[in-house]
Structure 1
Amino acid sequence: FLLLSLLKPGATADITRADGVVATFKVDSVQTFSKNAFPDQQVYGDTPDAELRIITCGGTFDHAKQDYKDNVVVFAHLDSSRQG
């Protein structure tokens, strides 16, 4: 996930489900949030349709805490699905 923050809207991610169906998600946005003000509802809340969130660490590394100060979140929606 090192380069996750470089994804652009319109990029796609294929996810193979346990039943063999491949779900293709299209990126809507990539946003960075401070871990101190992370928008739980926006990221984890219910959505009316199938959506994907990909989350990783980002921003400045805090050596004292041995952790990054931010999270990078990719917001994507289901674009299509097919048998794998």
Structure 2
Amino acid sequence: MKTTTSLIKRRSEKLFLLTVMFFSSIIAFAQDATDVDITTSETTTTTTTEEWFTNPLYWVVGALVLIVIIALVARGNRTND
């Protein structure tokens, strides 16, 4: 009795997964468009601003400060004999 219920359960899970994959493939193929002809003309103006994190000077200074902090913490843990 137990083996037949587990067999039915496994087959129903396989059937469910098969239907989900089937419908997801239908949805994926439905999104493909082959004959689309769109012509648009637009004018865009872009302005570029430099953010602080794109400047390498900040990265170098930040790395140096981090190294100094790590060195001070490591030096502070030593015991003087």
Give the TM interval when normalised to the shorter protein. Answer: under 0.3
- Greater strand proportion: 1
The two structures have a TM-score, normalised by structure 1, of 0.17
Q: Which has the higher contact order (CA 8 A, sep 6+)?
A: 1
Q: What TM-score do the two structures reach when normalised by structure 2? A: 0.18
